[in-house]
């Protein structure tokens, strides 16, 4: 089994891979958050899969960018979503308290390796994440609209207080 840890950021991501015995198979490398970067990741994963072992990719759940990357990786490989609290615990157990993107990829891969059960991403999960984002956007828009209505009423009351009696 090969475990790939991907540290997600807005513009650039980092990825690395370890084997089931903890041996480093792929040094951390940077790829961009666009088609070229995803193509580079896919070619690196193809090189790893030539060894015959199955690949599990681990991502932290905290970014909306994870949704995009999961959607691209889902048809190609098995993708697992990790709770950031678990990776934080693994980082704190480390002797050296390093927090870099390259080091995080190994921590994500090791956390994935230590998991008893996996939470794999499906197309249904991606749809739910998009629906959740849409619901949050709607809530924010309604709050903003309400705030604007209250402001407008306040301004009208200052300029033309008799309006409420008409």
pLDDT tens digits, residue range 109-133? 888 888 777 777 777 777 787 888 8
Mean pLDDT computed over 30-44: 86
pLDDT of 145 reads: 97
Rounded CA separation 32/45 (Å): 15
Residue 65 has pLDDT above 60, yes or no: no
Return mean pLDDT, the chain. Answer: 81
Residue 146 has pLDDT above 60, yes or no: yes
pLDDT of 106 reads: 82
What is the percentage of the chain residues whose pLDDT exceeds 90? Answer: 14
Greater confidence (91 vs 8) lies with 8
pLDDT band, very low/low/confident/very high, at 70 (cuts 50, 70, 90): low
Residue 74 has pLDDT above 70, yes or no: no
pLDDT band, very low/low/confident/very high, at 139 (cuts 50, 70, 90): very high
pLDDT of 121 reads: 72
Of 42, 81, 78, nearest in space to 64 by CA: 81
Q: Which fold has domain 2-121?
A: Nucleotidyltransferase; domain 5 (3.30.420)
Mean pLDDT computed over 140-146: 97
Phi and psi, residue 5, nearest 5°: -105, 130
Rounded CA separation 20/49 (Å): 14
Rounding to the nearest 10 degrees, give the CA dihedral for residues 17, 23, 27, 32: 10
Mean pLDDT computed over 42-66: 75
Through-space distance between the first and last CA atoms of the chain, rounded to whole angstroms: 76
């Amino acid at each position: 089994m090969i475990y790939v840890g991907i540290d997600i950021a807005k513009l650039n991501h980092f990825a690395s891979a370890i084997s089931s015995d903890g041996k480093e198979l792929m040094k951390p490398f940077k790829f961009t958050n666009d088609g070229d970067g995803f193509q580079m990741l896919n070619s690196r994963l193809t090189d790893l899969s030539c060894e015959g072992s199955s690949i599990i990719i681990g991502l932290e759940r905290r970014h909306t960018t994870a949704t995009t990357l999961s959607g691209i990786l889902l048809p190609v490989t098995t993708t697992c979503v990790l709770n950031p609290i678990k990776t934080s615990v693994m980082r704190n157990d480390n002797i050296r308290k390093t927090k870099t993107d390259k080091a995080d990829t190994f921590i994500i891969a090791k956390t994935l390796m230590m998991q008893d059960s996996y939470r794999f991403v499906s197309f249904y999960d991606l749809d739910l994440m998009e629906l959740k984002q849409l619901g949050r956007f709607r809530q924010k828009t309604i709050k903003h609209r309400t705030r604007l209505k209250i402001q407008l009423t306040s301004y009208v009351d200052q300029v033309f207080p008799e309006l409420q009696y008409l």
